[in-house]
Structure 1
Amino acid sequence: MALTLKQLRYLVAIQQERHFGRAAQSLHVTQPTLSHQLRKLEKTLGAELVERGQPVALTPVGREIARRARGILSEVSDIQRLASRVGGLLVGTIRFGVTPTLGPYLMPQVVMRLHGAHPDLRLHVREGIPDDQAQALASGDLDMMLAPLPIDDPRLTIEPLFREPLLLVGPTDHPFHTREALSIADFEGVDMLTLDRRHHYARQVGEICEQIGARELRDYEGTSLDGLQQMAGSGLGLAILPETYLRSESGGEHMVRRFDIPDWKAHRSIAAVWRKGSVLADAYHQIATTITEEARRMLD
């Protein structure tokens, strides 16, 4: 008796939902059908995969099989989408991960351009922590992601796209704005706002603070760039914001103003990422090209 893709889908659903009823509902099957197929899978493999308690959990071997199953199912999905492509157009749904420090300010125009050129393409955009999304991508839970470098995972293809300036800003009435000349040394000891440390962006801000002698305000961590902008605009501290954010409709400089610092050179590098060997690599290249063109348009 051979295992089937359907059985692997059932096992992955159980791991995700941790409940037989919810897993069955997510797969649009009855709970007895789900239970029966999992029993058949366990019999085929000769191993117990599911601990049937409350909540349901996978055994150690079940977790490892589910991890590998996600990769297999992702590759099968890639093959199906590859076969459905017509006339070089992108079609189907791509699960796309993006950091919240970039996605809301760059992706709207990218999505519009992609939809105009490839109306049958669907992007399931999921914002999240880049480190977590890199793991999700490698395991098959995402198809592609847009994230700041560095990313270090031998399972992933990493294509650098563009470099984006990171700018130091403060409230519009900050006294430094009236100075004839500023240098990085003037900001030693200033209070700097930042994000949750799980964000790559927060770690980079921390490195910049260390370099210039600024003081991170850990008691006032923001949850978004909007939060940083608003706190900086209120005078709570200074902030470092990306150029795409300051040039976006939701960002801008109506409550903060960038400092003119000739020796300020901070930036971040952004890359598109997908699994090595993916059959949809050429499609991801097309999406990456569109992202690069739109980013350069914004930054120029």
Structure 2
Amino acid sequence: MNLRDLKYLVALIDHHHFGRAAQACFITQPALSMQIKKLESTLGVCLLERSSKSFILTSIGKEIAERARKLLMQADEIKQIAKLAHDPLQGEIKLGIFPTLAPYFLPLVIPALSKLLPKISIFLIEEKTNLLSQKLANGSLDAAILAMPALDSSFVVHPLFTENFLLAVPTRHALAKKKLLQQVDLQNINLFLLEEGHCLREQALTFCKRLNLGQGEHFRATSLETLRHMIISGLGLTLMPQLACHLHRKISYIPFASPPARQIGLMWRATSPYAAIYDVLASHIKTLMSHHPVTIM
């Protein structure tokens, strides 16, 4: 048994398909199947229950796959520690970020970061918060920029900034003339929200509950841009993160007297060899974002 065999097993679990797993490992499907059978023979256990078209993990297969993933992650960390000994500010980082922040935040920082940290290659992965947290925990990601608090208490968290939410309303709406929204102004309004799985939805629900606001029951958006176009069409109201509040003649963005907000942080595993890099990265991000409408933490 070697790390390569364990890598094949983990790839098979991740892709749920022999063909796709083989392609990801740059080997043929028969070769992958043979290596999995060889691993089973070496261990003396059945890892998979096979049928003609699919497979499922046995209980012992699940336990071995979980341990294999951890071993592969630790092996990669050993390689990175050795590499960083020569230059602590160089390497490749797989960085996750969630969809309601990525398109508005990344253009503000990535071009500058590539110049400030020329020896660090950042590979960006955009996913919903739950999936990012899972990938960070299992080693598929090196770090992630997420809303605080972390879903996994074992993550190291470097706070970056606080971003307020504004109320996005059609320009012809009565609230569009307000300079500052008080709680009394929010009576009898319903907010359009994102679909399940977006952390922004949970933040908006918390705000709705605190102020006893309603939700638009007949619509769930998959993105902030869908919500924005619903507002442009005059079909409702929504909460919009301040970085996403782009000027448009048919939308007014009204601040709250007591604004709801989200706190954003850079997160990584406590065992990561890149901790020094992440601290530098976080420091640069905070400097760059100090020129934009957020509060640095």
Under a length normalisation based on structure 2, what TM-score does the superposition of the two structures give?
Answer: 0.89
Distance in 1 separating the partners of 2:107 and 2:80: 24
Say whether 1:265 aligns with 2:259: yes
Match of 1:42 among 40, 43, 48: 40
State how far apart, in whole Å, the 1-side matches of 2:26 and 2:161 are. Answer: 42
Partner Cα distance (1:63, 1:224) in 2:
35
Give the CA RMSD over aligned residues. Answer: 2.1
1:297 maps to 2:291: yes
Q: Whole-Å Cα distance in 2 between the matches of residues 236 and 170 of structure 1?
A: 9
Report the Cα distance in structure 1 between the residues aligned to 2:178 and 2:136, rounded to whole angstroms: 47
- The one-letter amino acid of 1:257's match is S
SS in 1 for 2:277: helix
Q: Is the 8 A contact 1:243 1:299 kept in 2?
A: yes
Q: Amino acid of the residue matched to residue 15 of structure 2?
A: E
CA contact (8 A) 2:145 2:264 kept: yes
Give yes or no for contact 1:129–1:198 (8 Å, CA) kept in 2: yes
Contact 2:154 2:269 in 1 (8 A): yes
Letter in 1 for 2:42: T
Are 1:256 and 2:254 matched, yes or no? no
Q: Is residue 30 from structure 1 mapped to residue 10 from structure 2 by the alignment? A: no
Specify the alignment match of 2:275 in structure 1.
281
Structure 1 stretches of 5 or more lacking a match?
A: none
Q: How does 1:144-159 map to 2 (within 5 A)?
A: 144-159=143-158
Q: Is contact 1:15-1:57 (8 Å) kept?
A: no
Structure 1 residue 176 displacement after superposition: 2.2
Q: Distance in 2 between matches of 1:256 and 1:82?
A: 50
Give yes or no for contact 2:88–2:276 (8 Å, CA) kept in 1: no
Q: Which runs of 4+ in 1 moved over 6 A?
A: none
Shift of 1:173: 2.3
Corresponding residue of 1:178:
177
Q: Is the 8 A contact 1:194 1:205 kept in 2?
A: yes
Cα pair 1:68 1:139 within 8 Å, conserved: no
1:125 maps to which residue?
Answer: 124
2:49 alignment counterpart:
51
Q: Which residue of 2 aligns with 1:214?
A: 213
1: CA distance, partners of 2:267 / 2:180: 41
Partner Cα separation in structure 2 for residue 289 and residue 129 of structure 1: 25
Unaligned runs of 5+ in 2: none
- Partner deviation per Cα, 1:15-67 (whole Å, 9 max, x = no partner): 12233233222211233432332223223322111223222332222222222
Distance 2:131 2:23 in 1: 27
Alignment of 1:176-255 (within 5 A): 176-179=175-178, 182-246=181-245, 251-255=246-250
Alignment match, 1:15? 13
Change (3 A) 1:138 1:260: closer
CA distance in 2, matches of 1:35, 1:238: 54
TM-score for both structures, normalised by structure 1 = 0.88
Displacement of 1:83 = 3.0
The residue type paired with residue 104 of structure 2 is: Y
Which residue identity does 1:20 align to in structure 2? Answer: F
Letter in 2 for 1:90: Q
Q: Is the 8 A contact 2:179 2:255 kept in 1?
A: no
Q: Which amino acid aligns with 2:78?
A: I
C-alpha distance in 1, partners of 2:108/2:180? 36
Q: CA deviation at 1:141?
A: 1.8
